[in-house]
Amino acid sequence: MSFSKEILVHHGRECPYCHGMMRVPFRKKRAQNTDNFPTRDHVIPKSVMPGMGTLIVCRKCNTDKRNYTLPEWYELLKNQCDARATIIKDFMKKQWFKKLNLTENKC
Ligand SMILES: [Zn+2]
């Protein structure tokens, strides 16, 4: 497994979805299983809207988000009282989703 330069520069940076620190482990073999390894997320899945841009996020968030769009994932997290819901909401407000009518997090 080789790490691209782009992934490497995200070592020590915050995941935009959970604010956890992303890490590229010293031992490459371990990277595949670590939750905080930087991975590329298609913010809006290619199947829904191609070319909407990508973000580097931690593996755990990327895995949990699966093929949801950000607003869909937000609703899911909110219903599960996941702490990331608040972060995602703020993130969407700052980014492409300014005009969305987001329901409040009641947790
Ligand atoms: Zn994350």
Determine the distance separating the centroid of ligand 1 and the alpha carbon of 65, expressed in angstroms.
10
Chain segment 2-40, per-residue pLDDT in tens = 567 888 899 999 999 999 999 988 776 666 678 999 998
The pLDDT value recorded for residue 82 is: 97
pLDDT of residue 106: 65
Q: Cα(49) to centroid of ligand 1, in Å?
A: 22
The pLDDT of residue 100 is 58
pLDDT, tens digit (0-9, with 9 covering 90-100), for 39-78: 989 887 777 767 667 889 999 999 999 989 888 999 999 9
Ion ligand 1, residues whose Cβ is below 5 A away: 15, 17-18, 58, 61
> What's the gap in Å between 24 CA and the centre of ligand 1?
14
pLDDT value of position 96: 60
Q: CA-CA distance, 8 to 28, in Å (whole number)? A: 12
C-alpha distances in Å from residue 61, one per residue of 18, 39, 101: 7, 9, 23
